[in-house]
Amino acid sequence: MYRSNTCGALRASDIGSEVILSGWVHKVRDKGFVAWVDLRDRYGITQLVFDQERTSKDLLEKARELGRETVIQAKGEVIERASKNPNIPTGDIEVLVTELTILNNSLLPPFTIEDETDGGEDIRMKYRYLDIRRNPVKNKLIFRHKVTMEVRKYLSDQGFIDIETPYLIKSTPEGARDFLVPSRMNEGQFYALPQSPQTFKQLLMVGGMDKYFQIVKCFRDEDLRADRQPEFTQIDCEMAFVEQEDILNTFEGLTKHLLKEIKGVEVDEFPRMTYDDAMRLYGNDKPDIRFGMQFGELNEVAQHKDFNVFNSAELVVGIAVPGAASYTRKEIDKLVDWVKRPQVGAKGMVYVKCNEDSTYKSSVDKFYDQEDLAKWAEVTGAQPGDLICVLSGNTNETRAQLSALRMELATRLGLRKSDEFAPLWVVDFPLLELDEETGAYHAMHHPFTSPKPGQLELLDTKPGEVKANAYDLVLNGNEIGGGSIRIYDKETQATMFKHLGFTPEEAKAQFGFLMDAFQYGAPPHGGIAFGLDRLVAILGGQETIRDFIAFPKNNSGRDVMIDAPANIDDEQLKELHLKLDL
């Protein structure tokens, strides 16, 4: 056998035992008459000792020549460590080696395999298999495993059945851009990789599998960022014979279970907030409610003076930043520069310092007196010592800009604490969104989302006012799950397709299989999908998902380790009936 114990298992109670360990050489320390080797595996580090009094000369020399990351097997006796190390679990013991076998030598690694490495991100992604040996990455992958096991346990205990759905499907026009796969056996035709298993899980409900889930890969060919990859993982779930409240209660239960089992945190309250209120109070549909700074709309108290910037604006809105009245003019100027960056896009910012003596000092004192500014403070909830930051302009753009500023200020003030968890349901989304360039409506979520009961008729007269029977679960300012009650009859689905601009022929060509299935006794159903990568990152106290994925892509969608995507040869193109036009 290669090992009797792992490198993290031995304790003082094992002193006197003969053991066999295998792993990677983490470090060698040579003092001439004695050499120590730190042997590492996934479970920890054990110190091996070779000394001239108890070790043969050849064995001591062999130990001295070991290079970092060489794979070895060591046999010996567990002894008490003379100089104990309280920082590691095996710090009370060491192994006096009697036999040493080199299983595989290693080249000098391109970066040090340490918690604090000297390797930059690019080089670590190229040698990801080495990066995984480091504790920060290894522990994140183990953490992800724990989360997924708890998800499976909870859903299985709730009666859900894990069912796989196909990866090779047909391309559909909704959502993001598809990844396409040419078919060799069907000349000129293509599969698509699924953006989600949406239609398949609805078909499973028609099939009578009333509680379905799977932890599944999904694919979207879209621009990348810190929390987005071209291939990502969903916890995909669907239930039959349910209403919205049934789903919210079930998946509140899952979230509570994960917070308790993974983080030791108990959360009782999952507030509900409408989409309209989320946009009005926070400027986005996934608000972080761990802290305040709710928006205060100032049109009524700010558009009555000769300040044309506000008078010409569709929306004047501000937030009260706690304790920030002490900011210097230089610090405030930096905030103004921050909101004027192209990534935010504001033209400027008005500020009001709420002094401790209840007076006010603003950048627009020329236009507004103390009584005016006191009304601003009332609307924004500002207290003495706070700073009011005000933006103005088009409603949607200004809300987005102030939302970005709110999150930036919360980060600077230390209000976004990774060990605090504030879940929130956002409900009553619009069913449709208007494309201002084309004047056409498209589905805010997807075309299978049902309208709120009693609102179907509004599609013909006021389509922009129709609310969706949809819901998002938000955690710490991140959407971790989203879903809806689905349309489950052919007529309603046909009506929805019509309002999305599909002709009957186009709807049948794209989704005829689903509409046909609805004619065979489809039950009322709905579901939700959690973004597993993002959920794991948030539970792990991180903003980015990349380190929680074993082999991630970079921001260009490339796997620099295996050099993918890559060119294919002419013979393969010929088999697929493809020609390149570059």
- In the chain the first and final C-alpha atoms are separated, in Å, by 55
Regarding beta strands 211-219 and 161-162, do their DSSP bridges make them parallel or antiparallel, or are they unpaired? Answer: parallel
Positions at the binding site: 174, 220-222, 229, 445, 479, 486, 531-534
**Per-residue b or e along 518-557, where b marks 16 or more CB atoms closer than 10 Å to that residue's CB:** beeebebbbbbbbbbbbbbbbbbebeebbbbbeebbbeee
Regarding beta strands 272-274 and 423-427, do their DSSP bridges make them parallel or antiparallel, or are they unpaired? Answer: parallel
Q: How many CB atoms lie within 10 A of CB 504?
A: 10
At how many degrees (to 10) do helices 275-282 and 395-412 cross?
Answer: 60
Cα separation, 455 vs 448, whole angstroms: 15
Positions at the binding site for ATP: 220-222, 229, 479, 531-534
Cβ atoms of 354 and 325 within 8 Å: the answer is yes
At how many degrees (to 10) do helices 135-157 and 532-539 cross?
Answer: 120
Cα separation, 374 vs 298, whole angstroms: 12
Cα separation, 165 vs 531, whole angstroms: 17
Q: How many CB atoms lie within 10 A of CB 25?
A: 22
CB proximity list for 141: less than 8 A, separation 6 or greater:
132, 548, 550
DSSP conformational letter for 581: -
Cα separation, 471 vs 482, whole angstroms: 6
Positions at the binding site for L-aspartate: 174, 220, 445, 486
Cβ atoms of 364 and 376 within 8 Å: the answer is no
DSSP conformational letter for 524: P
Cα separation, 70 vs 156, whole angstroms: 42
